[in-house]
Amino acid sequence: MLLEKAVNEFSKLPGIGRKTAMRLALHLLRQETSVVEAFGYAMITLKQEVKYCKVCHNISDTEVCQICANPQRDNSTICVVENIRDVMAVEGTQQFRGLYHVLGGVISPMDGIGPGDLQIESLVDRVAQGGINEVILALSSTMEGDTTNFYIYRKFDKMEVKLTVIARGISIGDELEYTDEVTLGRSIVNRISFK
């Protein structure tokens, strides 16, 4: 049945149960045909036509993404992130004017993800081509993230590039007493000068 099929498709999406799926399908049913077609084709076209930037592997409509192609950006700094959501998160802060490098994940032997499955070689190539002063590692603060950081650090051993990691510490607005010990400890060790 057509409705059932649409409901099934909706309920495959993360966080969407049968009841919500039914509500969404019935909502679409009440819309104009052109509206529903716009919805359906937006999803299909997204998947069929999406490209990944050949420089930084970020999602892109073109060969080279808008960030890499932007002459206003500082192309001597690369921020290494796990995925495109992280690019969006960093972009959202409006605090970074450099370029990105999307790894596509972190090294995780448990999930069978090795260095070869990630865009690490192409990062090394980018840096080897010169012109890069700093590589900022902005991976998750997990064992897998730390492992990946270390792997990249070893790769850059003999290269003339500044390698930094983003600061870890207490979130803005958080209270000390509720912060976990590791984070609090790190934020004490990595204290910065009060200006």
Q: Which of 99, 102, 70 is nearest to 84 (CA)?
A: 102
d(CA 42, CA 56): 24
Q: Do the strands 98-102 and 134-137 form a parallel or antiparallel pair, or are they unpaired?
A: unpaired
Supply the minimum distance, in Å, between the C-beta of residue 118 and a second copy.
Answer: 15
Binding site for a second copy (CB under 8 A): 1-3, 5-6, 8-9, 12-16, 20, 22-29, 31, 33, 36-50, 59, 61, 84-85, 88
One-letter amino acid identity for 100? Y
Would you say 85 or 168 has its CB closer to a second copy?
A: 85
Of the two residues 2 and 176, which places its CB atom closer to a second copy in the complex?
2
Residue 8 or 164 having the CB closest to a second copy: 8
Q: From the CB of residue 38, how many other CB atoms can be counted at a distance below 10 Å?
A: 11
Q: How far is the CB of 44 from a second copy (least distance, A)?
A: 4
Nearest to 82 by CA among 98, 99, 62, 101: 101
CA distance 10 to 20: 8
Q: How far is the CB of 34 from a second copy (least distance, A)?
A: 9
Q: Whose Cβ is closer to a second copy: residue 13's or residue 188's? A: 13
Q: How far is the CB of 185 from a second copy (least distance, A)?
A: 31
18-30 vs 2-11: helix crossing angle, rounded to 10: 130
- Please state the closest distance from residue 64 (CB atom) to a second copy, in A: 14
State how far the Cα of 106 lies from the Cα of 143, in Å rounded to an integer.
10
CB of 165 to a second copy, least distance (A): 25
- Between 46 and 159, name the residue whose CB sits nearer to a second copy: 46
The closest of 127, 189, 130, 192 to 163, measured between CA atoms, is 127
Which lies closer to a second copy via its Cβ, residue 35 or residue 166? 35
